[in-house]
């Protein structure tokens, strides 16, 4: 069973708060500040360097450089125009160690515009 963890993006101050930063925030703050914070879910997996993979992370996987998203309850990325590759598929193939987090959608969106040289 995967850990139910989140991190928070502060929309006003343009700052990312880790799970450890927000785990003690009062529940009412979490519920009432939806216009200030965007809560981002942990996928339950780690990249090749042991870094937790969250929705919105930008990853490198072989020749792909993509954003992790949640579609139909599964985390993954748009591999091709009509192909969504789930993290579950990657784990089943024994290739999760090939994923590397290179940024996230909030702090480094320009990474998706750059071509992948690897």
Name which residue leads in pLDDT, 104 or 26.
104
Half-sphere exposure of 49 (CA within 13 A, CB side): 7
Average pLDDT, the chain: 85
Domain ranges of the chain: 6-112
* CATH T-level assignment (fold) for domain 6-112: SH3 type barrels. (2.30.30)
Name which residue leads in pLDDT, 39 or 57.
57
Classify residue 14 as exposed, middle or buried by CB count within 10 Å of its CB (0-12, 13-18, 19+).
exposed
What H or E segment, with its residue span, contains residue 67? strand 64-67
Mean pLDDT, residues 14-34 taken together: 73
C-alpha 20, offset from chain centre: 16
- Minimum mean pLDDT range among 34-38, 59-63, 95-99: 34-38
Token pair, residue 89, equals 């598929």
């Amino acid at each position: 069973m995967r850990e139910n963890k989140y991190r928070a993006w502060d929309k006003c101050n343009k700052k990312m708060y880790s799970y450890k930063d927000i785990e003690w925030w009062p529940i009412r703050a979490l519920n009432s500040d939806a216009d200030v914070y965007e809560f981002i879910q942990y996928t339950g997996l780690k990249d090749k360097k042991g870094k937790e993979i969250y929705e919105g992370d930008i990853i490198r996987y072989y020749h792909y450089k993509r954003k992790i998203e949640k579609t139909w309850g599964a985390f993954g990325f748009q591999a091709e125009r009509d192909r969504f590759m789930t993290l579950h598929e990657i784990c089943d193939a024994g290739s999760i160690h090939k994923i590397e987090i290179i940024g996230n959608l909030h702090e480094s969106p320009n990474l998706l515009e750059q071509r992948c040289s690897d």
